[in-house]
A and B are shown apart, each in its own frame.
Chain A
């Protein structure tokens, strides 16, 4: 039943900043949640990976806050509210988590999120009529393009695991 997120309306530059900020904050919360899950299941490598991703998204959020200048993006984002259905573009897919997942899987999640965000801002760039919104959307498109490229670079360091990656020598299904 996957549905397109119902995108909040963007009628001012403040809206665009707030939505962009909200996307990064949502991503931070989701990566922290995944890091907590991996901590519970003793997958230390993924704890570190998800915490790093959360930190990176937090830096992006701060960058947006800086770009917004006098606009209180946090307050405006809270006022606009969350996506009513579906996740916001950079929220990693909780369904895809697995206790034995590898950095490659985490980076695939991150890449998918950055690509969704890129498509989101590209759509705004293509459809916005206000020159200020258009210019800032172009800025965000450049940012997200860099993030996509960064994910690709990191994926070169973390190769795809063999198909047996989820094989557990001490599986939870001990009675099977």
Chain B
């Protein structure tokens, strides 16, 4: 019997905690939680072999709603925490959850370097193009004409393009999903987790409270017209004509994941003292 056959059949409910989500009814994050648990069940990993790491924001509450290991970390630093965990416990499946504010603003620098380092983990950004938890300020992905009391006349700033940045920075798997299509999103998450190296999945997740216009996303998203490519140049050209609503896997790279040597020091104490001698 193979290892896969020996794995216990698991159901999405096996990965849910008893904590009830506080997200607003209609929020896309509810769907993403369904996608997480469905993906974990399909992978068949026991909950204790999965770690869900997050930062701060509505999206980052998700570890509490799973019964996997979780860490609700500091703002923008989820990737740093996850990298440390993956280096020391490479046997764990590490999934990082963030939002567009947490992940692209204060955590933007970590995003670039996590893509570059290519540790074997999956980074999920639940993008609603607004800071929902702090009452609706524009985020890095907000459109320039988002006109509110907090951004009169709009910010006038070009939005951040997450997939372009991920691809250019060296992510080994790049995809976009839509929360409302939770089963398809689960399928993308399964592919992302199984793919070696750093996988980045942006999930469009409507904020129905501060961006009620985003309820229309369900009529705007569409399956990407072309299949995933392993050619970063071709993937980049596809992004040139991307309007942000093509759903699917864009890029699957073949770069070897970063696996640092880890374990006991091989040099003896005298040799180490000599190395650090002033």
Contacts and interface: CB of A to CB of B under 8 A. Distances in A.
Interface residues of A, number: 27
Nearest to A84: B183
Contact of A98 (B25, B148, B149): B25
B253 to A, nearest CB: 26
B184 A85 contact: yes
Contacts of A86: 181, 183
A31 to B, nearest CB: 13
Interface in B180-196: 180-181, 183-184
Contacts of A37: 21, 23, 25, 30
A36 B20 contact: yes
B113 interface: no
A131 interface: no
Given A41-B24, A99-B25, A173-B209, 20 more contacts: A1-B178, A1-B247, A2-B218, A2-B219, A36-B21, A37-B23, A40-B20, A40-B22, A82-B183, A84-B183, A85-B184, A95-B180, A97-B26, A99-B26, A172-B135, A172-B210, A173-B210, A175-B148, A175-B150, A176-B148
B135 A174 contact: yes
B208 interface: yes
B136 A85 contact: no
B221 interface: yes
Contacts, number: 71
Majority SS of interface residues in chain B?
Answer: loop
B218 A176 contact: no
Nearest to A43: B25
Nearest to A38: B25
A39 B26 contact: no
A96 interface: yes
B26 A94 contact: yes
Contacts of B28: 95
A175 B149 contact: yes
Contacts of B210: 172-173
Contact of A1 (B30, B149, B181): B181
A104 interface: no
A95 B207 CA distance: 11
A98 B30 CA distance: 13
Contact of B149 (A33, A38, A82, A176): A176
B5 to A, nearest CB: 16
A143 to B, nearest CB: 26
A120 interface: no
Contact of B218 (A95, A97, A99, A173): A95
Given A83-B183, A173-B209, A176-B148, A1 B24 contact: no
